[in-house]
Structure 1
Amino acid sequence: MVTIYDIAAQAGVSAMTVSRVINNTGKISDKTRAKVQRVMDELNYVPNHMARSLVLQQSKLLFLLITDITNPFYTTLARGAEDAAKKSGYRLLFGNSDESSQKEKDYIDTILSTRADGVLIAPASDSSLPHLESLRRHNVPFVLLDREVPGMGSDVVLGDTKEGARKLVDHLISLGHRRIALINGLPTISSARLRLEGFREALKLGDLAYDEQYVLESAFEPKSDLSDIESWLDSMDPAPTAIVAGNNVLAVEVIRTLHARGLRVPDDLSVVGFDDLGPYSEIDPFLTVIAQQAYQFGYLGMQMLIERIEERGAAAQPWRRVVLPAELVVRRSVAKLPE
């Protein structure tokens, strides 16, 4: 293994000079810096970032923990987070909790053991509270994305998810729909609770009654077994004319179930949802959605996290809560019903 002493000997400088070049500290001439860098390149030297972090008390390593990397919303969010981290000279590691509290805890333990400078996290659910408390006890800054956790004050970047749900229902009502169903995330997730609130408020403003038979609570994740959706579709009487899906994954699952039954969207049933289906949805635009600013979630969240990290030791600033507006994107997954 190449050491700084090997580099110093070949470059004809002191080990302290090599250390200063690696850590970008101290006063060194451009000529000396270039000579040391050239020798490092020739010897294929890879800095020991763990040792460096012990000296500087900063690893320049950040962690992004999300709930489902296969969801295009989080994929785009991750791109924004990575771009912001790289711009500020940080490296970024990724983790995927799969909406699992235990898996999230395992990642938090790993984050603490790697001495990461901070964490950008979309919490699995309200049960994430002790995991966040663990980060705070160890003085690891974090910023929440997309979801809040009751009892935990922190910086957070959210979408205006309640207003988004109202817009979807208003759009359906404007096209003549009166029996509107909702397949949503579990009530232990803050964004799912807000979407249900927006759904109910829009029904009330549209003089439509809320009926629990038209609401199904399901995990915000892909399923191999669609039996709960099938049972729900069979149980509603009378059948709905439109379904609001709490995220893009659930929208796809509903459409898969309908197609398996020989039903067409929107001819037989209209479907709308939250978040787009990825960058290639433009090729055959189909699903009417509330499009959230996924890239900005990641980029702004990362900027807030880095600011917290670099402000450590200064007077604590108030928690910041950013709510990003969402846009209704109308496509062809909703049929207009006769008056």
Structure 2
Amino acid sequence: MVISLSTIYDIAKRAGVSPATVSRALNNQNIVKEETRKKIHKIAEEMNYSPNFLARSLVKKQTNTLALIISDITNPFFTTVARGVEDYASQRGFNTIFCNTDENVEKEKLYVNLMLQRRVDGIIIASCGSGNNLGDIKNRNLPLVLVDRTFSVNNGWDSVVGDSEEGAYLLTKHLIEVHHHKKIAVISGPPVLSTSQDRVRGYLRALREYHIQENSEWIISGEFKENFGYQMASKFLQYSGVKPTAVFAGNNFIAIGIIRAAREMGIEIPGDLALVTFDDLEMASYTCPFLTVAKQPAYTMGSMATEFLLQRISGEKIREKRIVVLQPEIIIRKSCGCIP
């Protein structure tokens, strides 16, 4: 069965009104009488009318479409951020295009260019680089909000992030103050990222506060990935000399890699090695609560970033850039040595 799509001219002819009246009725404008509006909507439904959103966007110069560019959609943290973005946007009549960069700067550049070609109304991004890919967005004056990650110079963009430094400080402090660890390693993500920098900075702040000597071999930056955590943990756990008694993992994937390396080497967590990390693993926390974490309000992060973006798109007069830093929740479980 072939269904032909009708135009507003077909509907106008059948309803006995002008095409302009049909357009106003379908856009629910108050100047059309209620009886006429209902009649037109009924006819449109009967005739399988489908609005031409591309044409509408050209007239309004707005596509009602946002782009969310994130670094790893498989990470439950970013999945939850994405849900917050999509929920808030859809409730306000906006669609969301999801782009996953896999922490690849070239892929991020490709997506930025593609979204500009798609004429999205605004972009929310958790960038995997230093911001060099975003020049065209700035030049076109396209609304953009940074989420989770910022830059040293952010060109006046709004940002919604978690307090990575404070979360790292509190986790490391817990290992020192409650469990009396002095040999603590940190495995974090790419050194170019603000989240990686802040988490190492929080870790160091706790060590210095308790006058614990830093060991440069135990301060490791690289990737927010499971395999990186596995490789780095395998390396320092095989040291013939002094080994760390505790590890702060920069994110949940790194923590999983550390657990895998420890199990292969017969090292028990937390008996032989204490472990704390950033970001929770929701499903695992329900079925087998184990990891002590700094849990970020990921959903709130996503919805608030979308709220800021839609305010910019609507033309609200907001002169100053807004920087929101959300506090993490420290959840104590077994991996640090506590028995909740």
Please confirm whether the aligned pair reaches a TM-score higher than 0.5, indicating the same fold.
Answer: yes
Residue deviations 1:37-71, cap 9 Å, x none?
Answer: 22232233332222111101111111111111111
Distance (Å, rounded) in 1 between the aligned partners of 2:172 and 2:299: 25
Which of 141, 147, 150 in structure 2 is aligned with 1:148?
Answer: 150
Name 1:264's counterpart in structure 2.
268
Percent of residue pairs identical: 40
**Would the aligned equivalents of 2:274 and 2:336 in 1 still touch at CA under 8 Å?**
yes
Tell me how far 1:232 sits from its aligned partner: 3.5
Distance (Å, rounded) in 2 between the aligned partners of 1:30 and 1:155: 42
Tell me how far 1:23 sits from its aligned partner: 3.6
**Would the aligned equivalents of 2:128 and 2:193 in 1 still touch at CA under 8 Å?**
yes
Which of 96, 102, 107 in structure 2 is aligned with 1:92?
Answer: 96
Tell me how far 1:90 sits from its aligned partner: 1.1
Name 1:301's counterpart in structure 2.
305
**2:38 is the alignment partner of 1:34:** yes
Distance (Å, rounded) in 1 between the aligned partners of 2:228 and 2:56: 45
User: Relative to structure 2, which stretch is displaced further, 35-44 or 45-54?
Assistant: 35-44
Tell me how far 1:85 sits from its aligned partner: 0.7
**2:324 is the alignment partner of 1:322:** yes
TM-score of the superposition, structure 2-length normalised? 0.92
Distance (Å, rounded) in 2 between the aligned partners of 1:298 and 1:144: 10
**Would the aligned equivalents of 2:187 and 2:232 in 1 still touch at CA under 8 Å?**
no
Which of 13, 21, 24 in structure 1 is aligned with 2:25?
Answer: 21
SS in 1 for 2:227: coil
Which of 110, 115, 129 in structure 2 is aligned with 1:111?
Answer: 115
Which of 319, 334, 337 in structure 1 is aligned with 2:336?
Answer: 334
Distance (Å, rounded) in 2 between the aligned partners of 1:248 and 1:130: 27
Q: 1:226 to 1:266 in 2, by over 3 A?
A: closer
Q: 1:237 to 1:46 in 2, by over 3 A?
A: farther
SS in 1 for 2:241: coil
Name 1:165's counterpart in structure 2.
168
Q: What letter is aligned with 1:278?
A: E
SS in 1 for 2:160: strand
SS in 2 for 1:18: helix
Tell me how far 1:134 sits from its aligned partner: 0.9
Distance (Å, rounded) in 2 between the aligned partners of 1:45 and 1:130: 44
Distance (Å, rounded) in 2 between the aligned partners of 1:22 and 1:281: 48
SS in 2 for 1:125: coil
Q: What letter is aligned with 2:25?
A: V
TM-score of the superposition, structure 1-length normalised? 0.92
Q: 1:214 to 1:49 in 2, by over 3 A?
A: same
Q: 1:36 to 1:131 in 2, by over 3 A?
A: farther
Which of 241, 254, 260 in structure 1 is aligned with 2:258?
Answer: 254
Tell me how far 1:315 sits from its aligned partner: 4.8
Q: 1:65 to 1:21 in 2, by over 3 A?
A: farther
**Would the aligned equivalents of 1:77 and 1:295 in 2 still touch at CA under 8 Å?**
yes
SS in 2 for 1:94: strand
Name 1:215's counterpart in structure 2.
219
**Would the aligned equivalents of 2:149 and 2:194 in 1 still touch at CA under 8 Å?**
yes
Distance (Å, rounded) in 1 between the aligned partners of 2:280 and 2:100: 20
Which of 10, 14, 17 in structure 1 is aligned with 2:14?
Answer: 10
User: Relative to structure 2, which stretch is displaced further, 8-17 or 201-210?
Assistant: 8-17
Distance (Å, rounded) in 1 between the aligned partners of 2:261 and 2:167: 24
**Would the aligned equivalents of 2:222 and 2:228 in 1 still touch at CA under 8 Å?**
no
Q: 1:235 to 1:21 in 2, by over 3 A?
A: farther
Q: What letter is aligned with 1:138?
A: R
Q: 1:2 to 1:279 in 2, by over 3 A?
A: farther
Residue deviations 1:79-135, cap 9 Å, x none?
Answer: 111111122221111111111111111111111111111111111121xx2322211
Q: 1:221 to 1:22 in 2, by over 3 A?
A: farther
Aligned residues: 332
Q: Which runs of 5+ in 2 are unaligned?
A: none
**Would the aligned equivalents of 2:291 and 2:333 in 1 still touch at CA under 8 Å?**
yes
Name 1:232's counterpart in structure 2.
236
Q: 1:224 to 1:159 in 2, by over 3 A?
A: closer
Tell me how far 1:252 sits from its aligned partner: 1.0
Q: 1:40 to 1:268 in 2, by over 3 A?
A: farther
Q: What letter is aligned with 2:20?
A: M
**2:288 is the alignment partner of 1:284:** yes
Distance (Å, rounded) in 1 between the aligned partners of 2:45 and 2:283: 38
